[in-house]
Amino acid sequence: MKSSPSAPAPKSGTCKVAILGFGTVGSSVARILSERTRTGLTLTHICNRNFERKKNAGWLPAHVQWTNDINDVLASDADIVVEAIGGLQPAGDWVRNALRAGKSVVTANKQLIAHSGPELIDLAQTMNRHIAFGASVAGGVPVISGLQEGLAGDELYKIYGILNGTCNYILSQIESSGVSFEAALADAQRLGFAEADPTDDVDGLDARAKLAILARVGLHGNVDPSAIACRSISAIEAVDFEYAKQLLCTIRQISWAELDGQQLFATVQPALVGLSSPLARVQGSQNLVMSTGKYGGETVFAGHGAGGNPTAVAVVSDILAIARARQDITQGFAEIPKSSPQVTADFSTRHYLRFKVTDRPGIIGALADIFSHCGINIDSVLQKPGYLKSSLPFVITLEVCKASLVEKAIGQISHLDFLVQPCVHLPILD
Amino acid sequence: MKSSPSAPAPKSGTCKVAILGFGTVGSSVARILSERTRTGLTLTHICNRNFERKKNAGWLPAHVQWTNDINDVLASDADIVVEAIGGLQPAGDWVRNALRAGKSVVTANKQLIAHSGPELIDLAQTMNRHIAFGASVAGGVPVISGLQEGLAGDELYKIYGILNGTCNYILSQIESSGVSFEAALADAQRLGFAEADPTDDVDGLDARAKLAILARVGLHGNVDPSAIACRSISAIEAVDFEYAKQLLCTIRQISWAELDGQQLFATVQPALVGLSSPLARVQGSQNLVMSTGKYGGETVFAGHGAGGNPTAVAVVSDILAIARARQDITQGFAEIPKSSPQVTADFSTRHYLRFKVTDRPGIIGALADIFSHCGINIDSVLQKPGYLKSSLPFVITLEVCKASLVEKAIGQISHLDFLVQPCVHLPILD
């Protein structure tokens, strides 16, 4: 079912754009295309279910055609299709069908690109069309183009940063208000910063999809997101921020990928970061990505990682890049990474272990024995006064060693009877 | 005079690169091209005076031809010429001749691009070739491509940041060691962070060339660098950092361009910036650029702004972009800005005025009268104890008003007989 055009069609010679999905991102893209008239882009179609209640947006050019049928878009003369639906299906099939129909595709869909990116790039190349996904990571922060173009001359080996605003908000709340994780999460849900089911955000699944995309683009490794180990932020308590402060650190959900030959270290987990690091100062929905290269050293990209308008900027930038390159459709945009590195979470870092115990003599001795047996050196023992002896939190920091060694020690420690709750284990990023 | 090739020529199908100038940047570009063999780029020629003493770099591929005659490069089969000489001449003529000879050009030359960018882009377009200059601003920080590609979908209206590492080093030294400007400059010269003639750096001429380029690329205004007002950092004393700290600020050389209709506010000058701003934490040769757009809000780019390797990364990234786009030589890279905005330095900000006076009754009253007559509101008066009454520094901060109003008041104040030295006037950037 199509709405009939009620105004003259756009002039020829411009690049015609169709949008699938008129939610937060789709409508922001439509607004930028409508307001910025000198881009050579023309919005021609919007595909959305039940569009009748949406199509009355007064700011849309009258020539825009609405439909609820993807086939209308596939059969149209649109050059570029913007996928702003999200999720794996039907978005995946719609993107495939758009490419097969000879359209180039721009998508903000991190899960689709993380899971099916190489296949979709391959399909786009077969069809001599482009697929671009700059909006799929860090919203408006131009990190995909930065890694792909601006730093193409370097050999990057490390990419890390803060890719999830929900975790950032929750951790900041625990830090500033001393509330529990549960209270901070409920607060974030009430304010619309967290979804009803917050699993993807707090357990790191959202960030690892983005990290897999960054690793493909910047480290040229074909990384399966499910191979990236994630640890939830849900174990973090206010007392961890107090101890972190004593160590001149704070706690953030950090996504980290580092290439070492054919091995790719990659995790998404809460970690201690120095108060002087740019990571410590990321606020709210801000995202920050740092890359390190053999020649150029460290580069920082930061900005708004979420929201309709910042994400739409990334989408429109991709549309413009495709429009510029359209005469030469063979020009490669996204490339399929050549290598398939072995992914491991076994980073070597300093470590923060926070215990909660029923106090009695001999606890430190028992723990020290286990660390010593595992070949791990203790760096410091911190204990703040003022807690109940029946549930006493204290911290042991360890010198640089592999995470797997620490996990082995924690396995042995978990059998000790003075523990009130499992040990909280965070890497310390220096 | 050519050195004869002593090894098989590179395989066909690759993109051939010639480098003009084998100094810090040129040799770093050569090294990256020699070490990164899977880029599809081949270094074929190096043009440098007295090359005999340089050509023995053991890491260069044996097929590279050395010459001291630019005409050898112009007559060669090189596809892309890298200009790494610096300065307006002979670099300018060599770039023009390379374009006329059908080569694309990559340059790191900020003065050449700031002064002749539109003419060179025009020439490149006439010749159906590319000219790229990502390395001309902020070395390895991919801000040119970020503004041109990654944020192309936004309407940027403000670009500001720290673009000169020498000033940053000198100001940091005054701040941390309490030394005079002269001592900090001498120190920087001794360590090689400042040139024998430091005018371009400390007076802002280096930064304004870069700001003019950023304004062209990001704000699409054809800005003549000489139209951008500069103020030297040489008047800053340690006491200014003490007062700045009291105002929760520090002092940095800030380059700032902001579009307001057909008017472009632009200056390079020392300014007070809040301690919580990313600008306050820029260290050494680091550069940081912030852009603000109508849709995407604020984006930050930071990294190494100088040095052979970071700058060479930007050069090689540009070479790769041209190599990718070579099949379609009509694809626009750099565009000549359409508008020629009226450039003014008359920003509205809060203001910091530091006086040094022979103390006597009535000084504040005399100053307050002048501000009042000029329609300026005083915000605060700060005076630290422990100074000689014959040379007493104190500070007046003013509420938001135009810089021109403050200059008018300072003109009247300059006639007052209690002044020991001219008033130091800095904007406070909030």
Residue A4: predicted pLDDT: 40
CA B193/CA A323 separation, integer angstroms? 43
The closest of A250, A257, A251 to A229, measured between CA atoms, is A257
Give the residue carrying structure tokens 């120095």. Answer: A274
Triad A284, A289, A294: Cα angle to 5°:
165
Count other C-beta atoms under 10 Å from residue A283's C-beta: 10
Residue B333: predicted pLDDT: 58
**Residues A68 and A90: beta-carbon distance below 8 Å:** no
ipTM above 0.85, yes or no: yes
Residues of B in contact with A281 (CB under 8 A): 276, 278
Q: Is A210 a catalytic residue?
A: yes
Task: List Cβ neighbours of A37 (8 Å cut-off, separation of 6 or more).
Answer: none
What confidence tens digit (pLDDT) does each residue in A49-73 have? 888 777 767 789 889 999 999 999 9
Q: Tell me how far apart the 2 most distant CA atoms of chain B are, in Å.
A: 85
CA B188/CA B170 separation, integer angstroms? 7
**Residues A302 and A143: beta-carbon distance below 8 Å:** no
What confidence tens digit (pLDDT) does each residue in A313-323 have? 999 999 999 98
> How far from A304 is each of A322, B83, B185, B296, CA to CA, in Å?
23, 36, 38, 7
**Residues A55 and A5: beta-carbon distance below 8 Å:** no
Chain A residues 275-294 with a CB less than 8 Å from chain B: 276, 278, 281, 293
What is the percent of chain A where pLDDT is above 90? 80
B146 interfacial to chain A (CB closer than 8 Å): yes
Strand partners, B228: none
Count other C-beta atoms under 10 Å from residue A170's C-beta: 30
Count other C-beta atoms under 10 Å from residue B149's C-beta: 24
Per-residue pLDDT at A328 exceeds 70: no
B297 interfacial to chain A (CB closer than 8 Å): yes
B82 interfacial to chain A (CB closer than 8 Å): no
Residues of A in contact with B297 (CB under 8 A): 140, 303-304, 309-310
Residue B11: predicted pLDDT: 46
Per-residue pLDDT at A2 exceeds 80: no
CA A201/CA A208 separation, integer angstroms? 10
CA A237/CA A179 separation, integer angstroms? 8
Residue B4: predicted pLDDT: 41
DSSP state of B68: S
**Residues B309 and B19: beta-carbon distance below 8 Å:** no
Residue B53: predicted pLDDT: 76
Q: Select the residue of B142, B149, B302 nearest A151 (Cβ to Cβ).
A: B142
The closest of B228, B195, B192, B189 to B210, measured between CA atoms, is B228
Q: Select the residue of A149, A298, A317 nearest B317 (Cβ to Cβ).
A: A149
CA A28/CA A108 separation, integer angstroms? 12
CA A347/CA A298 separation, integer angstroms? 19
What confidence tens digit (pLDDT) does each residue in A166-220 have? 999 999 999 999 999 999 999 999 988 888 899 999 999 999 999 999 999 999 9
Q: What is the mean pLDDT, run by run of 10 residues, along chain B of 430 residues? A: 42 82 95 89 93 78 93 97 95 97 96 94 93 93 93 96 94 94 94 89 96 94 93 96 95 95 93 94 89 96 92 95 68 65 91 95 95 96 91 96 96 95 93
Q: What average pLDDT score do residues A76-88 get?
A: 96
Task: List Cβ neighbours of B204 (8 Å cut-off, separation of 6 or more).
Answer: B164, B167, B230, B231, B232, B233, B253, B255, B268, B269
Residue B5: predicted pLDDT: 39
**Residues B19 and B29: beta-carbon distance below 8 Å:** yes
Q: How many contacts does A have with B, using Cβ atoms within 8 A?
A: 175
The closest of A236, A311, A223 to A267, measured between CA atoms, is A223
Q: Which of A46-50, A323-327, A345-349, B244-248 is least confident? A: A323-327
Please tell me the distance in Å from A59's CA to the nearest CA on chain B.
16
Please tell me the pTM assigned to this model.
0.90
Strand partners, A162: A288
Residue B326: predicted pLDDT: 64
Antiparallel, parallel or unpaired: β B378-382 and A104-107: unpaired
What confidence tens digit (pLDDT) does each residue in A110-153 have? 999 999 999 999 999 999 999 999 999 998 899 999 999 999 99
Interface test with B, best of A137, A144, A154, A324 (most B CBs within 10 A): A154
What is the percent of chain A where pLDDT is above 70? 94
Per-residue pLDDT at A244 exceeds 50: yes
Count other C-beta atoms under 10 Å from residue B100's C-beta: 13
Residues of A in contact with B298 (CB under 8 A): 303-304
Count other C-beta atoms under 10 Å from residue B137's C-beta: 29
**Residues B129 and B105: beta-carbon distance below 8 Å:** yes
SS3 category, B3: coil
SS3 category, B353: strand
Q: Do residue B327 and residue A331 have CB atoms under 8 angstroms apart? A: yes
**Residues A319 and A40: beta-carbon distance below 8 Å:** no
Residue A300: predicted pLDDT: 97
Interface test with A, best of B295, B298, B315, B330 (most A CBs within 10 A): B295
Please tell me the distance in Å from B315's CA to the nearest CA on chain A.
7
Residue A312: predicted pLDDT: 96
Q: Select the residue of A152, A312, A327 nearest B330 (Cβ to Cβ).
A: A327
